[in-house]
Structure 1
Amino acid sequence: MSEHLTTVAHVPVDTRHFIGGERIASARTFTDVSPIDGTPLGEIARGGAPEADAAVAAARAAFPGWADTPRAERARLLGAVADGVEKRLEELAVVETHDNGALLRSHRRGVMPRVAHNFRFFADRLLRLEHEDFETRGHTQHVSWDPAGPCVLITPWNAPLLLATWKAAPALAAGGTVILKPSEWSPLTASLLADIATAAGLPPGVLNVVQGYGPEAGAALVGHPDVRRVSFTGSVPTARRIAASAAAHLTPLSLELGGKSPLLVFADADLELAVDLAVQQYDNAGQVCLAATRILVEEPVAGEFTHRLAEKAARLRQGDPRDATTDLGPLVHPRQREKVDGFVRRALEAGARAVVGGPPGEGRGAARTGGPYYPPTLLTDVAQDSEIVQEEVFGPVLTLQTFTTEDEAVHLANDTRFGLAATVATGDHERARRVTARLVAGTVWVNCFYVRDLRAPFGGSRQSGVGREGGDWSFDFYCDLKTTVSAPNGWTDHA
């Protein structure tokens, strides 16, 4: 076997970059380790400025041909990529579970089918993309979407392939060429996507993958003068650095950042439904930007709600994510576990109480020991201005506070620097209408959670992001919109 191939659960994965239709090695590598048990998965090419330059050059060279490719042919090729994802769905699911520790059953049933859907949706949307012409004093105004150019897409580790294709599918559909930089903590399925795209017939240079660390490969990409769009999902501090770098060339940005979303539970809510919604926030070991980690409960039902939630959270089974009976797998990396544990310990020192969970081995609930596993945790007695309430933990840690009035609930919900999402549990339609209108959030769910339609805009308010993607909003970002105004006379062909 080639020194540049690694095998993960019998699936061969190339550990090199994919640039201009070819596999490119680097002089340096980094070790990719599975969070499940610490097993090294492979030595991954560690790119920097030279690889970034080569990838942008390849994307720039491929751009004119791809931009001129008829919409129907671009859509057909994206459909072929979706077919390839579906054919290799099991392989993608298994590799990603080993790489980032998320549940295998989730990858099989939901995540990888959604990856294929991303390509099919934007292929179909491309064929329907149009704006009605309008008249102004007899002049015809026509709106068109012109492909912008090479796009740099930087994706996180919590849902590697799903979020990569959420960006790549519309960028490619829009006629842009792509340089994908996955997280160094979960790089493997991006490499498999390059294989799938090649097999589907995408021309060389249309989709490129550069592996490596953010300060090396990522920084070189976002600051490149030939890049026309940058889309990033990740943390606020990293987004600030990306924005500063892109500003030198006024490169347009789409930023989907952190969250500290609330779940508002009113006394008129279906309490069992509300508890189920709260338990869902532990999904993917809490490593979900949209997670409603701040539970706000109206006082008359707070005691019963807390009791039911604690019981259900304590019953969640933590362990090997490949096991179909596991509810919570590991955090993605030991450093992430240390970060989460630090948040919890500081909260307890500040007076919080762990109703369930807390630091492993301290008598607050059973948890798997060793590795980056952290038990589902529920903290009460937390102050609104405390770190645990104001800062994103990105782990299986929820806080619970109470409120007495609707106004207080809205105030607490909005009282952070974030505004990514919110969830409301209530049995009153009018209350739902009033409250959702006042919440600062890019997405609000009422009596449900994580229902997403690709036709809808997605993004955050405040420090949860800049811009919106999804549906036609994605094309608005990855294209240059053009208005062509034609006079009613002056034609010589009289056709």
Structure 2
Amino acid sequence: MTEHTLTVAGVAVDTRHWIGGERIASSETFTDVSPIDGSTLGEISRGTATEAAAAVAAAKAAFPGWAATARAERARILHAIADGVDKRIEDLAIVETHDNAALLRSHRRGVMPRVAHNFRFFADWLLKLEHEEFETRGHTNHVSWDPAGPCVLITPWNAPLMLATWKIAPALAAGNTVILKPAEWTPLTASLLADIAAEAGLPAGVLNVVQGYGAEAGNALVSHPDVRRISFTGSVPTAKAIGAASAANLVPTSFELGGKSPLLVFADADLDLAVDLAVEQYDNAGQVCLAATRILVEESIADEFTKRFAQKAATLKQGDPRDESTDLGPNIHPRQLEKIDGFVQRALAAGARAVIGGAPNTDLGGLYYRPTLLTDVAQDSEVVQEEVFGPVLTLQTFVTEQEAVTLANDTRFGLAATLATGDHERAERVTAQLVAGTVWVNCFFVRDLQAPFGGSRQSGVGREGGTWSFDFYCDLKNTVTAPKGWQNHG
């Protein structure tokens, strides 16, 4: 071990940046703390404008070579990165669980395998990416996707590596170079990914990782004039700041932001299924942007639904996320726990009722917040209108289908919506009216990278997935060729 290496449950992680194919240390550091028990994981190099500029320069220098690399070779290297992820799934799962306190069993079985899948999917999609040629008055039109240049990718802490690779994989597949700025609360698996990518043969400078705070490293990256794309997942206020910075250089941006998604439960729904869907919203201690945190239930079944919900939620086990039997771990940071409890206590003071929960779990201490369901909440209250990002759900009732739709759409967000109904025609009517980037009917969190993903209103700008990702990370070109004018040579 060296002064720039920390160990997490036996896994070594380099604490320095990855810039131009080399490990670069900063003069200052920031402390990475595990949400599980508050223990210090290590001191991480703290990037500034200096490291940001070095990373952009490395990405700019590496861009011509990577952009000129044949599609098949780019795809081969992305598959090699996926192979490297597969070999280190246990290491990645352990490190990320310690870093962000999401369930170890989820990381092992779902999240880290999905990281590998992200690389494989976009590698394969690249090889079939094409637009059918068409003619205009005898002239041939040929559409192509040209690499745009260095891309800055800024990612959140709730699913750090998976959400990062949703962006990294298509950006690299498209022929761009990347500067990744991971969330300062969860920097470790990004460092491991840099090692994996280098071992897979990704050329130096094609992937760079700059650690640090948004106001320092992040701001320097998004305002750099040599950056050609910016993709960000996180909060609305941060997106507005990034948008203002990027506007000075006319850099295209893609934003996947917050949500306040509804779950509509009609009286004709399978009630057990609806309850299961509702309780599932506590996944990752409620730290999921897509979570349907506003439960809207038809009035005639509200009492029965609420009773069954409370019974089902009572079976959830809250505790150490490293334990295979745990269903809910802690929240990410003391600041986040304070924010969550603030929402709940203000709602209770305003007349809301806690059917379950309503406070931190003092039996466990630390950053654990009891799964909470609030009723008697006003539509214009902050707990209904603003993203809590914790294990806090609200329950409201409706009488008519139109009232349900009106309530569902009555926020500034539009990321997702979930619908429980036994009537196929109703499902079609309601989904057609919901303002959301993704709508699930009698299911939740079924995701396919072929589908567009993103939000409406203040839940985001743009879409990720399939060809939509390549449309963003590329400059689309249409070449029009005349049928005449050719000269024979030879």
Mark yes or no: TM-score above 0.5.
yes
Aligned to 2:71: 71
Matched position secondary structure for 2:84: helix
Rounded to whole Å, the distance in 1 between the matches of 2:276 and 2:319 is 21
**Alignment match, 2:163:** 163
Residue 81 of structure 2 is aligned to residue 62 of structure 1: no
1:14-53 Cα offsets, whole Å, 9 max, x none, are 0000000000000000000000000100100000100000
- Provide the residue aligned with 2:32 in structure 1: 32
The aligned runs of 1:388-467 (5 Å cut-off) are 388-467=383-462
What's 1:310 paired with? Answer: 310
What's the CA shift string for 1:219-278, capped at 9, x where partnerless? 000000000000000000000000000000010000000000000000000000000000
5 Å-filtered alignment, 1:60-99, equals 60-99=60-99
String of CA shifts for 1:292-336, please: whole Å, max 9, x gaps: 000000011100000011111122111000000100001011110
Deviation at 1:370, TM superposition (A): 1.8
Equivalent residue runs for 1:141-156 within 5 Å: 141-156=141-156
Paired residues of 1:314 and 1:357 also in contact (CA < 8 A): no
In structure 2, distance between residues paired with 1:196 and 1:493: 50
Partner of 2:470: 475
Q: Secondary structure at the match of 2:367?
A: coil
Aligned-partner Cα distance in 2 for 1:368–1:139? 74
Are the counterparts in 2 of residues 424 and 445 from structure 1 also a CA contact under 8 Å? Answer: yes
CA contact (8 A) 1:275 1:305 kept: yes
Matched residue SS, 1:435: helix
Deviation string, structure 1 residues 51-71 (Cα, Å, up to 9, x no partner): 000000000000000000000
SS at match of 1:281: helix
After TM superposition, which residue ranges in structure 1, 4 or more long, deviate above 6 angstroms? none
What is the distance in 2 between the residues matched to 1:311 and 1:66?
55
> 1:318–1:367: 8 Å Cα contact kept in structure 2?
no
Q: Distance in 2 between matches of 1:104 and 1:257?
A: 25
Aligned to 1:375: 370
Mark the CA change 1:275 to 1:494 in structure 2 (over 3 Å): closer, same or farther.
farther
How many angstroms apart in 2 are the aligned matches of 1:310 and 1:347? Answer: 19
- CA contact 2:60–2:150 (8 Å) conserved in 1: yes
Structure 1 residues 360-385: Cα deviation after superposition (integer angstroms, max 9, x where no partner): 3xxxxx66432111010000000000
Specify the alignment match of 1:288 in structure 2: 288
The 1:420–1:494 alpha-carbon spacing in structure 2 relative to 1, beyond 3 Å, is farther
Displacement of 1:493:
2.6
* Cα separation, 2, equivalents of 1:343 and 1:295: 17
**Is the 8 Å Cα contact of residues 296 and 400 (structure 1) preserved in structure 2?**
yes
Distance 1:193 1:267 in 2: 47
In structure 2, the partner of 1:229 is 229
Matched with 1:7 is 7
Question: CA deviation digits over 1:124-173, x for unaligned, max 9?
Answer: 00000000000010000000000000000000000000000000000000
Aligned mates of 1:351, 1:388 — CA distance in 2:
12
Q: One-letter code of the match for 1:111?
A: V
2:17 and 2:363 mapped to 1: Cα distance? 36
Q: Quickly say closer, same or farther: Cα 1:32–1:488, change in 2 above 3 A.
A: same
- How many Å separate the matches in 1 of 2:3 and 2:39? 18
- Conserved in 2, the CA contact under 8 Å of 1:153 and 1:168? yes
Q: 1:491 to 1:213 in 2, by over 3 A?
A: same
Q: Secondary structure at the match of 1:315?
A: coil
| Separation (CA, whole Å) in 2 of partners of 1:358 and 1:277 | 21
Q: Report if aligned partners of 1:368, 1:374 keep a CA contact under 8 Å in 2.
A: no
How far apart are residue 494 of structure 1 and its match?
Answer: 7.9
How far 1:445 moved relative to its partner? 0.2
For 1:462, the aligned partner's letter is R
Where does residue 241 of structure 2 map in the other structure?
A: 241
Question: 1:122 aligns to what?
Answer: 122
In 2, Cα distance between the equivalents of 1:382 and 1:353? 8
Structure 2 counterpart of 1:194: 194
Note if contact 1:152-1:229 (Cα within 8 Å) is conserved in structure 2: yes
Q: Distance in 2 between matches of 1:136 and 1:171?
A: 32
Contact 1:318 1:368 in 2 (8 A): no
RMSD across aligned positions (CA)? 0.8
> Contact (CA 8 Å) 1:183, 1:212: kept in 2 or not?
yes
Is the contact made by 2:297 and 2:396 (CA closer than 8 Å) also made in structure 1? yes
Alignment check: 8 A CA contact 1:153 1:232 kept: yes
Partner of 1:386: 381
| 2: CA distance, partners of 1:378 / 1:367 | 18
AA at the equivalent of 2:115: V
Gaps of at least 5 residues in structure 1 are 361-365
Question: Aligned equivalents of 1:368 and 1:419: distance in 2?
Answer: 36
Native 8 Å contact 2:239 2:255 kept in 1: yes
Tell me the residue number matched to 1:363: none
Asked if the contact 1:262–1:294 (Cα under 8 Å) also holds between the matched residues in 2, the reply is: yes
Aligned to 1:353: 353
Alpha-carbon distance in 2 for matches of 1:175, 1:234: 25
Residue of structure 2 in register with 1:178 after alignment: 178
Change (3 A) 1:285 1:368: farther
Alpha-carbon distance in 1 for matches of 2:327, 2:363: 12
Would you say 1:218 and 2:191 are equivalent positions?
no
| Residue identity in the other structure for 1:408 | E
Shift of 1:215: 0.2
Gaps of 5+ in 2: none
**TM-score, normalised on structure 2?**
0.99
The aligned amino acid for 1:491 is: W
Q: Secondary structure at the match of 2:314?
A: helix
Verify the 8 A CA contact 1:38 1:371 in the aligned structure 2.
Answer: yes
User: Quick one: structure 1 residues 102 and 368, their matched pair in 2 at CA, closer, same or farther if it must change by over 3 Å?
Assistant: farther
Identity of aligned residues (%): 81
Could you tell me how far apart the structure 2 residues matched to 1:53 and 1:113 are? 33
